[in-house]
A and B are shown apart, each in its own frame.
Chain A
Amino acid sequence: MLTRLLKASVLTSFAFFSLNATQFDAQAQKDKEELVKYFEAKFQDPYKDKNRFFLYSPEEELKDGYEKGLKHMDFGIGSYSYAKDAREQYEAIKEFPPYEDKIEDGEDLYTKEFANGNSLKTCFPDPTIGGDYPYFDTKRKEVISLTTAINECLEANNEKKWNVKKGKMATFQAFLAYSTAEAQKKMNIKIPTKEAQEAYERGKEYYYTQRGYLKLSCATCHIQGAGQRVRNEKLSPLLGQVTHFPVHRLKWGSLGTLERRMSGCIKDQGQVPPKNDSKQMHELLYFMAYMSNGMPIDGPDVRK
């Protein structure tokens, strides 16, 4: 019953979107639907579909290690949606996540007054905006990430910019993500103009382009490779990849931003990662965020 209700509401929201959709996001919309179709097919039954999707995985691993019959929204928790053993640990850690106090610290940062009497609250009167970034600024004709918007707010108020990877930036974003999740908001990326569409297309091309000395694309690991194991990693899917940031990574032992994660990942392809506030990074994130459109914001979260 509940699932039917959910389906119905998803359908209506689709309908709503397509009614509202201008031609600019027609392609993006189609890309997203195709992506969902692919992932649902891939994780319908990994053991049965070994020859189709998991040629290189050991049979016993496919038999026991994977969750089956996954649907679109299941991918919101990334690789934990299919990796059983990892999922248990994830849930054990989520019983008392290590970042909880950061949400409150983030709220303090939100209301803390700058020297000029303003605060971050002045720039972001509504803290439930985690799903609206990155957005295409039609006046400036460029993609603005949340991290960039926060630093621009600080600078506009004569405050020092924050490190974009961790520390205060991640702490404050934890509060925004939490507020957005509490308000049960979803990823809501828009493609309003021709320029925005072009930015989306460039981000998409970046995602699928093989790069670095290992000649890997983002897609190699996170579309075709999603769910495959590399050493001890079951690679995560593009769907839902940006909905849970900032994350506390066990590897970092602290909270970090999406940008921190991204540059680590691109570095692993064997090339110099683009700068965190570069056009390339912003457009790449724009594409990725659009692919998660309609999925609930569930940050901050824990990852390995």
Chain B
Amino acid sequence: MLERRNFLGLSVLAFGVAAAPLNLSAVNFRETKPNLWKATKVDDAIKELFGTTSATEGKIKLRAPDIAENGAVIPVSFETDLKASKIAVFQDANPESAVAVFDIPDNAIIDYGIRIKMAETGTVTVVAQENGKLYKVSKLVKVTIGGCGG
């Protein structure tokens, strides 16, 4: 419990650091690919981001539930040994398709986890790019209105 106080202190320090220019190599795909986030079909989004939709199935281990406990909090994680430079997560249950685009630094180990929202049953797709080639995996996640009581 003491930890938090430490942690608060540290973050004040961090603000000092943050004042210095910090964007070392950052690529904000929201700035570089504004149309990606507007795409309403997964294939359109993949094309917008990677320039092509032709992808090999597999080489990525995707974990997502068969039936979501709650559509607002769906744990999604993926692992791969690919030396990927870019990985993106899409779904087809929401108005737009793109969920997140990872720019992979060279010392990263690709074992990532996030939590996503889906308005209804749909397919989660993860696409990785290695040396210009695309790899893709998908999984159906069922979303129902859940939770008994109040």
A contacts B: CB pair < 8 Å: yes
Sorted nearest first, the 9 A-B pairs with minimum C-beta distance are A264-B150, A264-B149, A92-B75, A250-B70, A251-B147, A304-B69, A265-B149, A232-B144, A89-B69
- For the complex, give the distance between the alpha carbons of A235 and B1 in Å: 35
Which residues of the other chain, A, contact B75 by a CB distance below 8 angstroms?
Answer: 88-89, 92-93
Q: A250-B147, A251-B146, A265-B150 are in contact. Are A232 and B67 (CB under 8 A)?
A: yes
- For the complex, give the distance between the alpha carbons of A266 and B74 in Å: 28
Let me know if A95 is at the binding interface, CB within 8 A: yes
Which residues of the other chain, B, contact A264 by a CB distance below 8 angstroms?
Answer: 148-150
- For the complex, give the distance between the alpha carbons of A88 and B63 in Å: 10
Chain B 102-120 near chain A by CB (<8 Å), digits 1 or 0: 0000000000010100000
How many residues of B are counted as interface, with CB atoms below 8 angstroms from the partner's CB atoms?
23
Let me know if B68 is at the binding interface, CB within 8 A: yes
Closest to A230 in B: B148
Q: A104-B1, A232-B146, A233-B148 are in contact. Are A304 and B70 (CB under 8 A)?
A: yes
Closest CB in chain B relative to A104 CB, distance in Å: 5
Q: A104-B1, A232-B144 are in contact. Are A90 and B150 (CB under 8 A)?
A: no
Contact B113–A251 (Cβ < 8 Å): no
Contact A261–B147 (Cβ < 8 Å): no
Which residues of the other chain, B, contact A85 by a CB distance below 8 angstroms?
Answer: 65-67
- For the complex, give the distance between the alpha carbons of A235 and B149 in Å: 12
* Partner-A contacts on B (CB < 8 A): 1, 4, 63, 65-70, 72-75, 77, 113, 115, 142, 144, 146-150
* Partner-B contacts on A (CB < 8 A): 85-86, 88-90, 92-93, 95, 101, 103-104, 107, 230-233, 235, 249-251, 253, 260-261, 263-265, 267-268, 304
Closest to B142 in A: A232
Which residues of the other chain, B, contact A260 by a CB distance below 8 angstroms?
Answer: 150
Which residues of the other chain, B, contact A251 by a CB distance below 8 angstroms?
Answer: 70, 146-147
B73 partner, pick from A95, A232, A250, A265, beta carbons under 8 A: A250
Which residues of the other chain, A, contact B67 by a CB distance below 8 angstroms?
Answer: 85-86, 232
Closest CB in chain A relative to B61 CB, distance in Å: 14
Which residues of the other chain, A, contact B142 by a CB distance below 8 angstroms?
Answer: 232
Q: A95-B113, A231-B144 are in contact. Are A253 and B69 (CB under 8 A)?
A: no
Which residues of the other chain, A, contact B115 by a CB distance below 8 angstroms?
Answer: 92-93
Task: Provide a sorted-by-A list of 10 A–B residue pairs whose CB atoms are within 8 angstroms.
Answer: A88-B63, A88-B65, A89-B69, A95-B113, A231-B144, A232-B146, A233-B147, A235-B148, A253-B72, A264-B150
Closest to A260 in B: B150
A304 partner, pick from B1, B66, B113, B147, beta carbons under 8 A: B147
B113 partner, pick from A92, A253, A261, beta carbons under 8 A: A92
Contact B149–A93 (Cβ < 8 Å): no
Which residues of the other chain, B, contact A93 by a CB distance below 8 angstroms?
Answer: 73, 75, 115
Closest CB in chain B relative to A90 CB, distance in Å: 7
- For the complex, give the distance between the alpha carbons of A304 and B65 in Å: 13
Contact A304–B150 (Cβ < 8 Å): no
Closest CB in chain B relative to A227 CB, distance in Å: 14
* Given A92-B77, A92-B113, A233-B148, 6 new contacts (CB under 8 A): A89-B74, A90-B69, A101-B4, A263-B150, A264-B150, A265-B149
Closest CB in chain B relative to A207 CB, distance in Å: 15
Closest CB in chain A relative to B81 CB, distance in Å: 22
- For the complex, give the distance between the alpha carbons of A235 and B148 in Å: 9
Closest CB in chain A relative to B12 CB, distance in Å: 18
